[in-house]
């Protein structure tokens, strides 16, 4: 971690102090990307459903049944957060995909613009989750 990142971590005593982002729905997030200046969250269209919890918990079925795939009518959103201020500086719609892990991320500064490049293991939809269960 960079010295700047270490200072950021020491400044914050609780995770709530870092940033608060408004979300319309609770999206499954397993990984995120961090560059020297930014945090990038992928808000994939796999959403937590309170109603599914009521169905899932008593039946003893998989926890993943508490989520609904909405990839047919929603895209993946990239949320870019400035690590210095904690403010969301961009919300960028992308193609629809499911992912577990971000692999690498870095920023390229060109004149007055910074482009963030992210390597993500992406899948067309969430069916991979079901394939991980032993049956």
**Contact status, residue 36 vs residue 101, Cβ threshold 8 Å:** no
Tokens of 78: 């990239």
30 is in an annotated binding site: yes
Binding residues for Fe cation: 30, 101
Q: Which residues are annotated as a binding site?
A: 30, 101
């Amino acid at each position: 971690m960079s010295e700047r990142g270490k200072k950021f971590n020491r400044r914050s005593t609780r995770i709530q102090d870092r940033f608060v982002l408004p979300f319309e729905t609770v999206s499954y997030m397993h990984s995120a990307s961090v560059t020297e200046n930014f945090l990038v969250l992928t808000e994939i269209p796999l959403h937590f459903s309170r109603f599914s919890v009521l169905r899932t918990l008593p039946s003893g079925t998989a926890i993943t049944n508490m989520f609904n795939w909405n990839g047919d009518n929603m895209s993946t959103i990239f949320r870019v957060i400035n690590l210095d201020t904690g403010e969301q500086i961009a919300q960028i719609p992308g193609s629809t995909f499911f992912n577990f892990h971000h692999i690498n991320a870095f920023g390229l500064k060109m004149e007055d613009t910074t482009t963030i490049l992210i390597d993500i293991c992406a899948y067309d939809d969430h069916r991979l989750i079901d394939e991980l269960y032993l049956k």
